[in-house]
């Protein structure tokens, strides 16, 4: 049963009205979660001007429902059965979940969060994309934040499989595509999966909202996988929330020399599950003996010439000048590169550099 009760709508409105103040408070306490679990009366009293008290008293649930309907959203409150059960395990479950798209996407038993740095490297983006695609193929919904970089790469990867039902959790209103450059991705998410937010429609995110959003990502997913993160990355807070909830955390290993992987390598050192591919994720999620794990496709043998080329690309020598020194032999190399691309072993980046792809197994 969908819908939201008056009390929950009123609380959502209150949180929205206090957002600017919470931004200050967040920096003082470092964790907004504690603030969000305070009862309404305490929250109202926090505003010294009294304006929020007036607004709280004058709140009209009917008008709030109108606004939600006008934005094309569905509201689920924590008092109703349709509310995702996993979220109730949070210390501060959001009063109302605003959903754009299909609510059914939230009902899956096992969903996996794939998160990571906004400024991903081509390695991180490629892994996120492969994981998104692999999980979609295994019928596991991918939860992420639709942010630039790893988050959107995971969603884009999921959409490469026709049966994907991905979920995005936004920091602002569920009817506002953020970041704006991911509008097309947002539209696809709404059409095939769903986009959710705890804040009212039209709400523009404050900084604390992104951390609060991360707790929802961790809360919705049975397993959180961090693909690439620096030591200070926000995606590590998602892993923290998952750990607090007692859920599994996985991380993708990266070069120890890369600062873009320092956060994930630290997670691994602290005991997070090692994620090398979709199989590892499914093992973490369902246990090693789970029947849904498909056997790895057999390795396709490739010609020694292509193998050498692939080795060079794997070592990071992806530009034409690095792959050949003889202008006469370049045509052969060009042909072989496309050959490797057609086999899903390399991908051509914008501009013309080749990187290792994870679509096919060497």
Residues that bind other proteins (CB under 8 A): 117-119, 121-122, 125, 129, 147-149, 152-153, 156, 160, 179, 181, 184, 258, 318-327, 330-331, 333-335, 337-339, 341-342, 344, 347-353
- Toward other proteins, which CB reaches closer, 12 or 152? 152
- Toward other proteins, which CB reaches closer, 6 or 349? 349
| In contact, 204 and 176? CB cutoff 8 Å | yes
Q: Nearest Cα to 353, choosing from 324, 321, 329?
A: 321
Q: How far is the CB of 135 from other proteins (least distance, A)?
A: 17
Q: How far is the CB of 230 from other proteins (least distance, A)?
A: 11
| In contact, 201 and 174? CB cutoff 8 Å | yes
Q: How far is the CB of 139 from other proteins (least distance, A)?
A: 22
Enter the tokens of residue 132: 């998104």
Q: Nearest Cα to 103, choosing from 75, 78, 80?
A: 75
Enter the tokens of residue 311: 């080795």
Q: How far is the CB of 150 from other proteins (least distance, A)?
A: 10
Write the CA distances from 104 to 152, 173, 189, 193, 217, integer angstroms. 21, 20, 13, 8, 17
- Toward other proteins, which CB reaches closer, 16 or 318? 318
Helix (H) or strand (E) holding 142: strand 142-144
- Toward other proteins, which CB reaches closer, 274 or 342? 342
- Toward other proteins, which CB reaches closer, 121 or 144? 121
Helix (H) or strand (E) holding 66: helix 61-70
Q: How far is the CB of 225 from other proteins (least distance, A)?
A: 18
């Amino acid at each position: 049963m969908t819908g939201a009760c008056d009390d929950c709508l009123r609380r959502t409105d209150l949180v929205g009205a206090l957002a600017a103040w919470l931004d200050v408070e967040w920096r003082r306490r470092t964790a907004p979660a504690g603030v969000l679990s305070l009862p309404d009366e305490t929250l109202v009293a926090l505003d010294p001007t009294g304006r929020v008290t007036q607004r709280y008293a004058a709140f009209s649930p009917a008008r709030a429902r109108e606004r939600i309907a006008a934005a094309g959203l569905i509201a689920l409150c924590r008092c109703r059965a349709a509310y995702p059960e996993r979220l109730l395990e949070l210390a501060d479950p959001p009063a109302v979940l605003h959903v754009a798209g299909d609510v059914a996407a939230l009902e899956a038993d096992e969903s996996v969060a794939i998160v990571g740095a906004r400024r991903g490297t081509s390695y991180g983006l490629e892994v996120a994309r492969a994981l998104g695609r692999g999980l979609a193929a295994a019928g596991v919904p991918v939860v992420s934040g639709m942010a630039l970089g790893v988050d959107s790469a995971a969603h884009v990867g999921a959409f490469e499989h026709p049966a994907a039902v991905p979920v995005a959790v936004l920091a602002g209103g569920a009817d506002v595509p953020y970041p704006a450059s991911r509008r097309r991705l947002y539209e696809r998410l709404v059409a095939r999966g769903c986009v959710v937010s705890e804040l009212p429609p039209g709400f523009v995110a404050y900084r604390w909202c992104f951390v609060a959003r991360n707790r929802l990502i961790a809360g919705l997913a049975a397993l959180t996988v961090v693909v690439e993160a620096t030591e200070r990355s926000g995606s590590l807070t998602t892993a923290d929330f998952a750990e607090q909830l007692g859920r599994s955390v996985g991380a993708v290993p990266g070069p120890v020399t890369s600062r873009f992987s320092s956060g994930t390598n630290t997670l691994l050192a602290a005991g997070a599950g090692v994620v090398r591919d979709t199989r590892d994720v499914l093992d973490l999620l369902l246990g090693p003996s789970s029947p849904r794990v498909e056997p790895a496709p057999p390795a396709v043998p490739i010609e020694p010439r292509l193998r050498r080329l692939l080795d060079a690309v794997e070592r990071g020598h992806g530009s034409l000048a690095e792959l050949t020194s003889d202008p006469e032999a370049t045509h052969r190399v060009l042909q072989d590169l496309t050959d490797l691309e057609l086999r899903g072993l390399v991908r051509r980046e914008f501009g013309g550099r080749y990187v290792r792809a994870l679509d096919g197994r060497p």
